[in-house]
Structure 1
Amino acid sequence: MKGRKDVQQDHESKKLFQGILILTLSSVITKILSAVYRVPFQNIVGDVGFYIYQQVYPIYGIVMALSSSGFPVAVSKMVAEREAAGENSHRTFLNAVFLILGLFGSGLFLAVFFTAGKLAAWMGDPRLSPLIRTVSCSFLLMPLISAIRGVYQGQGRMVPTALSQVLEQTVRVAAILLLSFWLVRGGFSLYAAGQGAVFGSVLGGAVSAAVLVFYLVKGGRQEKAAQLLEWNDVKQAARSLFCSGIAVCISSLVLVLFQFVDSLHLYALLKDAGWGAEAAKKLKGIYDRGQPFLQLGTVAASSFALNLVPVIALEYKKGRRKSLEIQVQAALKISTAIGAGAAVGLIGIMPFANTMLFENSEGTAVLSVFSVSILFSTWILTFSGILQGLGKVYTPAVAIAAGVLLKYGLNEVWVPRFGTMGASAATVAALGFISLILMIKLGKAYVKMLPALFFGKLALSLFAMSACLQLWLRLFVHGFSGRAASVPAALGGTAIGAAVFLFCAARLRLLTDEEWGLVPFGTKLAGLKGKNWIGKQKT
Structure 2
Amino acid sequence: MSNKLIRGTFVLTLGTYLSRILGMIYLIPFAAMVPEEGAALYQTGYAQYTIFLSIATAGFPAAVSKFVSKYNAMGDYQTSRRMFKAGIVVMLLTGFLAFAILYMSAPFFAKGALAENEISNITVDDAILVIRMVSLALIVVPLMSLIRGFFQGHQSMGPTAVSQVIEQIVRIVFLLGATYLIINVLKGSFVLAVGYATFAAFVGAIGGLLVLFFYWIRRKHTLLAMQANRVETKALPLGSMFKEVFRYAGPFVFVGLAIPIYNYIDTSSFNHAMFEAGKDETYTINMFAVLLLYVPKLVMIPVSLATAFGLTLIPSITESFTQNNRSLLHKQIDQTLQMIMLLVIPAVVGLSVLAGPAYNVFYAGSSEEIGRSILMWYAPVALLFSLFTVNAAILQGLNKQKLAVISLVLGILVKLALNTTLIQMFEGIGSIIATAAGYTVSLIYGFAMIKRHSGISFRLLVKRTFLILILSTFMGLVLSVLQSLLGVMINYEDGRMQSVIVAVVAVAIGGFVYLYLAYRSRLLEKIIGNRLNRFVRKRRANG
Secondary structure of the 1:362 match is: helix
> Aligned partner of 2:511: which letter?
A
What is the CA–CA distance in structure 1 between the aligned matches of 2:385 and 2:331, rounded to whole Å? 22
Q: Deviations over 1:454-488 (max 9, x none)?
A: 24422321221122112111124446341233222
Question: How far does residue 366 in structure 1 lie from its aligned partner after superposition?
Answer: 2.3
Residue 268 (structure 2) aligned to one of 257, 264, 271:
264
Assess if the C-alpha contact under 8 Å between 1:380 and 1:435 holds in 2: yes
Assess if the C-alpha contact under 8 Å between 1:476 and 1:485 holds in 2: no
Indicate the RMSD between aligned Cα atoms, in angstroms.
Answer: 3.5
Residue 502 (structure 1) aligned to one of 515, 518, 525:
515
Q: Which residue of 2 aligns with 1:397?
A: 405
What is the CA–CA distance in structure 2 between the aligned matches of 1:27 and 1:295, rounded to whole Å? 10
Question: How far does residue 219 in structure 1 lie from its aligned partner after superposition?
Answer: 8.2
What is the CA–CA distance in structure 2 between the aligned matches of 1:39 and 1:263, rounded to whole Å? 22
What is the CA–CA distance in structure 1 between the aligned matches of 2:485 and 2:334, rounded to whole Å? 40
Assess if the C-alpha contact under 8 Å between 1:71 and 1:245 holds in 2: yes
Equivalent residue runs for 1:111-510 within 5 Å: 111-124=101-114, 126=124, 127-154=126-153, 160-186=159-185, 187-213=187-213, 233-288=237-292, 289-360=294-365, 361-363=368-370, 364-445=372-453, 446-451=455-460, 453-478=463-488, 480=491, 481-483=493-495, 484-510=497-523
What is the CA–CA distance in structure 2 between the aligned matches of 1:172 and 1:200, rounded to whole Å? 5
Q: Deviations over 1:469-521 (max 9, x none)?
A: 1211112444634123322222211122222122222222334x2522489x8
Assess if the C-alpha contact under 8 Å between 2:475 and 2:513 holds in 1: yes
Secondary structure of the 1:188 match is: coil
Instruction: Tell which deviates more after alignment, 65-74 or 213-222.
Output: 213-222
What is the CA–CA distance in structure 2 between the aligned matches of 1:281 and 1:420, rounded to whole Å? 11
Question: How far does residue 340 in structure 1 lie from its aligned partner after superposition?
Answer: 1.7
TM-score by length of 2: 0.82
What is the CA–CA distance in structure 1 between the aligned matches of 2:296 and 2:40, rounded to whole Å? 12
What is the CA–CA distance in structure 2 between the aligned matches of 1:89 and 1:315, rounded to whole Å? 20
Assess if the C-alpha contact under 8 Å between 2:17 and 2:301 holds in 1: no
Q: Which residue of 2 aligns with 1:98?
A: 88
Unpaired runs of 5+ residues, structure 2, are 115-122, 226-235
Assess if the C-alpha contact under 8 Å between 1:94 and 1:151 holds in 2: yes
Are residue 54 (structure 1) and residue 43 (structure 2) matched?
A: yes
What is the CA–CA distance in structure 1 between the aligned matches of 2:92 and 2:347, rounded to whole Å? 40
Question: How far does residue 376 in structure 1 lie from its aligned partner after superposition?
Answer: 1.0
Q: Deviations over 1:187-234 (max 9, x none)?
A: 32222221111111111112233444566678889989xxxxxxx855
Assess if the C-alpha contact under 8 Å between 1:75 and 1:151 holds in 2: yes
Q: Deviations over 1:400-430 (max 9, x none)?
A: 2332232233222111222112112212222
Instruction: Tell which deviates more after alignment, 58-67 or 328-337.
Output: 58-67
Instruction: Tell which deviates more after alignment, 215-224 or 291-300.
Output: 215-224
Assess if the C-alpha contact under 8 Å between 1:32 and 1:299 holds in 2: no
Q: Deviations over 1:257-308 (max 9, x none)?
A: 2222222221232233323443321111122322112111212222223232
Question: How far does residue 15 in structure 1 lie from its aligned partner after superposition?
Answer: 7.5
Question: How far does residue 393 in structure 1 lie from its aligned partner after superposition?
Answer: 2.5
Question: How far does residue 168 in structure 1 lie from its aligned partner after superposition?
Answer: 1.5
What is the CA–CA distance in structure 1 between the aligned matches of 2:161 and 2:338, rounded to whole Å? 28
Percent identity between matched residues is 24
Question: How far does residue 116 in structure 1 lie from its aligned partner after superposition?
Answer: 0.4
Instruction: Tell which deviates more after alignment, 359-368 or 116-125.
Output: 359-368
> Aligned partner of 1:471: which letter?
V
How many residue pairs are counted as aligned between the two chains?
A: 510
Instruction: Tell which deviates more after alignment, 314-323 or 435-444.
Output: 314-323
What is the CA–CA distance in structure 2 between the aligned matches of 1:477 and 1:428, rounded to whole Å? 32
Assess if the C-alpha contact under 8 Å between 1:19 and 1:156 holds in 2: yes
Change (3 A) 1:327 1:91: closer
Question: How far does residue 16 in structure 1 lie from its aligned partner after superposition?
Answer: 7.8
Question: How far does residue 373 in structure 1 lie from its aligned partner after superposition?
Answer: 0.5
Q: Which residue of 2 aligns with 1:7?
A: none
Secondary structure of the 2:354 match is: helix
Instruction: Tell which deviates more after alignment, 449-458 or 402-411.
Output: 449-458
> Aligned partner of 2:369: which letter?
E
Instruction: Tell which deviates more after alignment, 305-314 or 494-503.
Output: 305-314
What is the CA–CA distance in structure 2 between the aligned matches of 1:268 and 1:391, rounded to whole Å? 40
Q: Which residue of 2 aligns with 1:227?
A: none
Q: Deviations over 1:437-469 (max 9, x none)?
A: 212222323221144542442232122112211
Are residue 43 (structure 1) and residue 18 (structure 2) matched?
A: no
> Aligned partner of 2:249: which letter?
G
Secondary structure of the 1:137 match is: helix
Instruction: Tell which deviates more after alignment, 37-46 or 521-530.
Output: 521-530
Question: How far does residue 121 in structure 1 lie from its aligned partner after superposition?
Answer: 0.4
What is the CA–CA distance in structure 2 between the aligned matches of 1:458 and 1:422, rounded to whole Å? 28
Assess if the C-alpha contact under 8 Å between 1:67 and 1:145 holds in 2: no
Question: How far does residue 55 in structure 1 lie from its aligned partner after superposition?
Answer: 1.9
Question: How far does residue 522 in structure 1 lie from its aligned partner after superposition?
Answer: 9.2
Assess if the C-alpha contact under 8 Å between 2:70 and 2:315 holds in 1: no
Question: How far does residue 35 in structure 1 lie from its aligned partner after superposition?
Answer: 4.0
What is the CA–CA distance in structure 2 between the aligned matches of 1:373 and 1:102, rounded to whole Å? 35
What is the CA–CA distance in structure 2 between the aligned matches of 1:348 and 1:408, rounded to whole Å? 29
Question: How far does residue 102 in structure 1 lie from its aligned partner after superposition?
Answer: 3.2
Are residue 31 (structure 1) and residue 35 (structure 2) matched?
A: no
